[in-house]
Amino acid sequence: MKSLLILLSIVLVIPASSVLAFDHQHARWDMLLKSHVFWGEDGSASWVRYSDFKTDRAALKTYLSELSAVPQSEFDGWTEPRQLAFLINAYNAFTIELILTEYPDLDSIKDLGSFFSSPWKKEFFTLLGEKRHLDWIEHDMIREPGVYNEPRIHFVVNCAAIGCPALRPEALTAERLEAQLADSTARFLRDASRNRYAPDDNALKVSRIFDWYRKDFQRGWGGYDSLKDFFAAHTGQLADSGAGRQRIKSGDVEIDYLDYDWSLNDAARMPSH
């Protein structure tokens, strides 16, 4: 009888653990993104249908619950690409949820904070067993020196603003992470409204992101020791002429930071052309 009970307990536990296994394809999130996010006309920026996300909020909450159910011990056993994809998807999905708490009655994610409180410091979700805020995911996990050491995360982490690099209309996955990082980097850098070479000033006019996160491009991550090293490796996206590309590659350029547009990247408010 004792042996039978042990056998039954094993049989019951095995299916339960497989059913509860985390989906590393992030299929539910992928479906929501494919349905409610789309590339703009030139493919460098994306727009979000927040009204449709609000209609599908139950599905979003189910995905967020799947993220929240992952314990630290399970996360620690994953490969680094799986961990990084999980954290970036979590940041982006919880950002959407944060916007939906007040949508459509806001013009910017900054409207969810005040002079005394940051929207990125709101502890409104659970991740890896504790109450967390968005800054914890980005700064304490994704950007922690010595862990992932990946500067291109800044082109896939989305802050729900027009000035921010695009939210991809697909989930990030470990198997495609390298290609997705490279693609998002190229799309962002070739957007002349946010990054461009100005020959008259011999200057790179670039996103304020490169000012805020300059250190991540100076740590040797990805083989870059400075912002100019990074830009030199991406001259094709930043300048149209051979002369301009050569100036960037040589490092003989000034770097100027553009104003950042914090307006909500809401498809319902897309500028008309």
All structural domains of the chain with their residue ranges? 23-267
The pair of structure tokens assigned to 57 is: 């909020």
pLDDT of res. 18: 39
**Residues making up the chain, counted from first to last:** 273
Residue pair 85/141 in contact by the 8 Å Cβ criterion: no
Three-class secondary structure of residue 38 per DSSP: strand
- Separation of alpha carbons 269 and 144, rounded Å: 35
Whole-number average pLDDT of the chain: 93
Dihedral of the alpha carbons of 191, 174, 159, 237, in degrees to the nearest 10 = -10
**Cα angle 36, 209, 46; round to 5:** 20
Identify the bridge partners of residue 254 per DSSP, sorted by sequence position: 203
Query: What is the share, in percent, of the chain residues with pLDDT greater than 90?
Result: 90
Weakest-pLDDT range from 15-19, 99-103, 189-193: 15-19
Residue 272 pLDDT class (50, 70, 90 cuts): low
Residue 68 pLDDT class (50, 70, 90 cuts): very high
The residue to which tokens 């000034």 are assigned? 254
pLDDT of res. 270: 87
132-179 pLDDT per residue, tens = 999 999 999 999 999 999 999 999 999 999 999 999 999 999 999 999
- Separation of alpha carbons 155 and 159, rounded Å: 11
Q: What is the mean pLDDT of residues 11-17?
A: 40
Residue 20 pLDDT class (50, 70, 90 cuts): low
pLDDT of res. 3: 44
